[in-house]
Copies of this chain bind each other. A is one copy, B any other.
Amino acid sequence: MKKILVIGAGRSTSSLIQYLLFNAEQENWFVTITDQSKELAIKAANNHERAKALAFDVNNDEERNRLIDESDLVISMLPAHMHISVAKDCVKYKKHMVTASYVSKEMKMLDSEAKLAGVILMNEIGVDPGIDHLSAMRVIDNIRNDGGRLEAFETFTGGLIAPESDNNPWNYKFTWNPRNVVLAGQGTVKFIQNGKYKYIPYHKLFRRTEIIEVEGNGKFEGYANRDSLQYREIYGLKDIPTMYRGTLRKPGFCRAWDAFVQLGATDDTYVMEGSEEMTNRDFINSFLAYNITDSVELKFKHYLNIRQDDVDLYEKFEWLGIFNDTKIGLKDATPAQILQHILEQKLSLSPNDKDMIVMWHRFLYEKDNKFHEIHSSMVVKGDDQTYTAMAKTVGLPVAIATKMILNGTITTPGVHIPIEKEMYHPILNELENYGVHFVEKEVEPRFY
């Protein structure tokens, strides 16, 4: 019997654990489900005969060592910065590990030790990163094997609200960690277009967007992710002239979000004076110049260049209630924390809401002196608030990779991300059974 240790049983693990328990009998697995909250772990284990639930604090060194030593494979669904102690113990006890997070510097440094120990540390096998790697590499390898040369690769992913639950002027709800949404894009964006390096500062990011049409799903708007450059090397596209990774929203979101960026309302670097007693209106006014007569509304419009007839735009702010006299009640809070608090009143999911993950790739390539362009897209909707699109697309690739490691399909030790043919073919094929599939089509090549 193979013993799987799952660390973390929060919202994103429902589909992962469902898959593990459903296949436990056939694959001869025993699944230990742990979480800081024993309640969550018990709920996830669901009295399954091949599972047990434990309360577990990953910072408890003794407990962590013992649990990992007792397992054959560890799945860490912790926040990204908490994986490293788990990874070190996995190498020590020669246990494999799977995570959905980006490879950190510390993780990368474990590569040679992991190889020596014969241990697989598989990372970036969720949705983004994860399914993006799998699906992009499948097309990229096809093009290359067919004698094509990649000219441009663009890829966008968005965690959004499904159209049937989309009932607010932002066409957006928090389907994932709101704090990450509020802080998204801070720092400088770097990418390459037609061989030219391009840099976008944060305060321009939400005005440098691209409109994308995903067949059958309408238009979306993409803004660039922080660093697109590193994937040139990872994908074996060192000399590709255009490489761009981004995030999708519905059109109109970015122009409105930019208002908060321009105000400075997403700043997380300082605490606002008297935040506890502040109202929404005070909050907005603290970013606008003092004026003895003008209203906060007019100052806001004027400062942000919102014209009288920008009705769709202005409605978003009114609907959020940012000009209301509602008390915020957060002590010693940063602007970003206060903004998150205001947004959460309005942009949180309702009990029957369904989420949606949209992914879109564009490949421009040259073959036999002719240009070709392929678009590949995936749209996954959540079933309900448990088996969300996010939980499915993050958890299922993790679960399938786990199976492949335990049944000996994946064998190469070291720190990995899923870019090899041996991974993307079986995982993408199996994902299709769960409604996760890509639509590819060739289109007339475009040049910018």
Contact = CB atoms under 8 A, between A and B. Distances in A.
Contacts of A285: 196
Contacts of A292: 194, 447-448
A198 B270 CA distance: 13
Given A196-B286, A208-B289, A201 B447 contact: no
B290 A199 contact: no
B197 A290 contact: no
Nearest to A192: B273
Contact of A448 (B270, B272, B274, B290): B290
Contacts of A274: 197
A250 interface: no
Interface stretch (A22-30, A158-166, A169-177, A261-269): A261-269
Interface in A343-368: none
A204 B262 CA distance: 7
Given A198-B290, A286-B196, A290-B196, A270 B203 contact: no
A335 interface: yes
A274 B198 CA distance: 12
A279 interface: no
Nearest to A203: B203
Contacts of A287: 198-201
Contacts of A291: 448
A386 interface: no
A336 to B, nearest CB: 12
B290 A194 contact: yes
A193 B264 contact: no
Contacts of A273: 197, 229
Nearest to A207: B303
A144 B292 CA distance: 26
Nearest to A195: B290
A94 interface: no
A286 B203 contact: no
Given A290-B196, A292-B448, A190 B264 contact: no
Nearest to A202: B203
A257 to B, nearest CB: 15
Interface in A313-327: none
A190 B271 CA distance: 11
Interface in A410-448: 447-448
Given A197-B273, A197-B274, A448-B291, A204 B286 contact: no
Given A292-B447, A448-B290, A270 B201 contact: no
Contacts of A200: 264, 287
Contacts of A112: none
B272 A199 contact: yes
A199 to B, nearest CB: 6
B201 A264 contact: yes
Interface in A289-308: 289-292
Nearest to A191: B290
B188 A264 contact: yes
A325 to B, nearest CB: 15
A267 B273 CA distance: 28
The 9 A-B pairs of least Cβ separation, nearest first, read A201-B264, A203-B203, A193-B290, A197-B273, A194-B290, A197-B286, A199-B286, A188-B270, A199-B264
Given A193-B290, A198-B289, 7 more contacts: A194-B292, A198-B287, A198-B288, A199-B335, A201-B267, A201-B287, A204-B264
14 contacts: A188-B267, A193-B290, A194-B290, A196-B285, A198-B290, A199-B267, A199-B286, A200-B287, A201-B264, A201-B267, A203-B203, A204-B262, A204-B264, A208-B289
